[in-house]
């Protein structure tokens, strides 16, 4: 008997949906990590970093559009960008926190970064991700409001502070 080899989301309990979302987040991170490592091993860190920057720049725009479509977040101000970032997988994976908030300025901070932590643990060392993140966040924010500017307060290759990996600001001009 022929039948599709897949489940329907509506068949899952809330507990299973949560576990499946966690599984998807983990695999989202693993696909990115293994892809990056394979390119690095075969073509070097500079090439892997350049490809990463180009891909994540595009992902910022695509993710923002998809979050608008699937999660109903509308264009607007910093409040809308923050609402959308809550749904962005990488923000969830890296444990981002809002540390400053006003109508004109938001600062977020990542105290964990699984990719960087894994690189350090494996002996590969930290890689420079500032340019990649700058493009990602600029393109993400631009989808909500052209007047939002993104400022890096700290990200690799900057020396790592004791208690966090990255700090970024979003400013509504």
Q: What confidence category does residue 118 fall into, taking pLDDT thresholds of 50, 70 and 90? A: very high
Q: Is the pLDDT reported for residue 5 higher than 90?
A: no
* Arithmetic mean of pLDDT, 53-74: 97
Instruction: Report the percent of the chain where pLDDT is more than 90.
Output: 88
**CATH for 130:** 3.30.1380
Whether residue 168 has pLDDT greater than 90: yes
Domain extent, residue 126, equals 56-172
Per-residue confidence (pLDDT) for residue 139, from 0 to 100: 98
Give the pLDDT of residue 8. Answer: 87
Residue 45 is assigned to a structural domain of this protein: no
114 in a domain, yes or no? Answer: yes
Q: Note the pLDDT of residue 18.
A: 94
Q: In this model, does residue 9 exceed pLDDT 90?
A: no
Please state, in angstroms and as integers, the Cα–Cα distance from residue 62 to each residue in 37, 67, 89, 110, 125, following that order: 23, 9, 13, 22, 30
88 within domain boundaries: yes
- Report the domain count for the chain: 1
What average pLDDT does range 110-126 have in this prediction?
Answer: 93
DSSP 62-103: HHHHHHHHHH-PPS-SHHHHHHHHTT-HHHHHTTEEEEEE-S
State the pLDDT confidence band at 94, using cuts at 50, 70 and 90.
confident
pLDDT at 37: 96
- 40 in a structural domain: no
Q: How far apart, in whole angstroms, are the C-alpha atoms of residue 44 and residue 41?
A: 6
Is 24 domain-assigned? no
CA 123 to chain centre: 23
3 domain residue, yes or no:
no
Domain-embedded: residue 133: yes
Whether 1 is in a domain gets the answer no
* pLDDT at res. 137: 97
pLDDT at 60 over 90: yes
């Amino acid at each position: 008997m022929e039948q599709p080899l897949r489940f329907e989301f509506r068949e899952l309990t809330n507990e299973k949906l949560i576990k499946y979302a966690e599984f998807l987040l983990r695999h989202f991170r693993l696909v990115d990590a293994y892809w990056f490592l394979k390119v690095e091993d075969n073509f070097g860190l500079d090439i892997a970093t350049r490809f990463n920057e180009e891909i994540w720049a595009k992902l910022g725009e695509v993710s923002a559009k998809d979050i608008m479509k699937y999660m109903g977040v509308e264009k607007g101000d910093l409040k809308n960008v923050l609402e959308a970032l809550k749904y962005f997988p990488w923000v969830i994976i890296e444990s981002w926190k809002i540390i400053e908030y006003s109508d004109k300025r938001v600062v977020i901070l990542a105290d964990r970064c699984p990719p960087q932590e894994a690189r350090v643990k494996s002996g590969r060392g930290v890689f420079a991700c500032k340019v990649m993140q700058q493009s990602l966040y600029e393109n993400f924010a631009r989808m909500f409001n052209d007047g939002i500017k993104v400022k890096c307060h700290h990200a690799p290759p900057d020396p790592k502070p004791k208690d966090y990996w990255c700090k970024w600001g979003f400013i509504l001009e």
